[in-house]
């Protein structure tokens, strides 16, 4: 009799846990462009990403000059979830394969300062003592605002139909994945030249 009641309690707890568990989506993240284009949601997300890059004048289409090489690019896919486990949005980010860049040819400096936690704590302490108001903000696509000095050519993104098939993208602004991306973002946003 004790065993039977114990089993019922375990089953009851399991049922309650199942009811209270958050709803988790089974939306998967594609690992390639070929997988992504099979889903209309990912297609729309890719189109939106390309539209943002075009509106920001990130590149111009041109013929690849002799002696130059075009770096490749790819999309990185991420499913963003709400706190209850349901899908908030799909995110596709175009990333340059910067690991193929050559030092002193494609870039010279990769410095990117990072605030130490002690510095942030001091700032918060000073604000609390002085009664200052602090505001936090997030700039979307911050890396895409840095103007490039170097001539960098990138193959056209997968699915990008504009221009001639032989043309490449001459990057005018920074793109995620470039070796100098974080340095350019810093100069544009914090210390304008």
Mean pLDDT within 60-78: 91
pLDDT in tens, 134-163: 887 665 555 566 777 778 889 999 988 899
**Spans of all domains in the chain:** 25-189
pLDDT tens string 35-66: 999 999 999 999 999 998 899 898 999 999 99
Contact 154, 70 (CB under 8 A): yes
* Mean pLDDT across 177-182: 64
Q: Is 129 left (phi over 0), alpha (psi -120 to 50) or beta?
A: alpha
> Coil, helix or strand for 105?
coil
Cα 6 to Cα 12: distance, rounded to the nearest angstrom: 10
CB 77 within 8 A of CB 91: yes
The whole-number average pLDDT for the span 98-107 is 56
Point out the least confidently predicted range of 80-94, 98-112, 133-147. 98-112
The structure's pTM equals 0.64
β-pair partners for 91 = 78
Please report the pLDDT score of residue 102 as a whole number.
Answer: 57
pLDDT of residue 144: 60
- 93 forms beta bridges with 76
Taking the CB of residue 18, how many other CB atoms lie within 10 A of it? 8
Percent of the chain scoring above 70 in pLDDT:
65
């Amino acid at each position: 009799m004790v065993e039977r009641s114990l089993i019922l309690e375990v089953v009851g707890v399991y049922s309650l846990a199942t009811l209270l568990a958050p709803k988790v989506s089974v939306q998967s993240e594609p690992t390639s462009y070929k997988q992504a284009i099979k889903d209309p949601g990912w297609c729309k997300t890719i189109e939106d990403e390309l539209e943002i890059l075009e509106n920001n004048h990130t590149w111009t289409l041109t013929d690849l000059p002799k002696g130059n090489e075009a770096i490749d690019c790819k999309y990185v896919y991420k499913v963003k979830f709400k706190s209850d486990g349901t899908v908030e949005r799909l995110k596709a980010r175009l990333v340059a394969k910067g690991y193929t860049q050559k030092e002193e040819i494609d870039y010279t400096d990769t410095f990117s300062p990072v605030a130490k936690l002690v510095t942030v704590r001091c700032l918060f302490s000073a604000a609390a003592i002085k009664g200052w108001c602090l505001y936090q903000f997030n700039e979307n696509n911050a890396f895409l605002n840095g103007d490039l000095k170097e001539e960098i050519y990138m193959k056209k993104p997968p699915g990008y139909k504009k221009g001639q098939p032989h043309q490449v993208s001459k990057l005018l602004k920074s793109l995620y994945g470039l070796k100098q991306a974080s340095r350019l973002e810093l100069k544009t946003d914090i210390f304008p030249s």
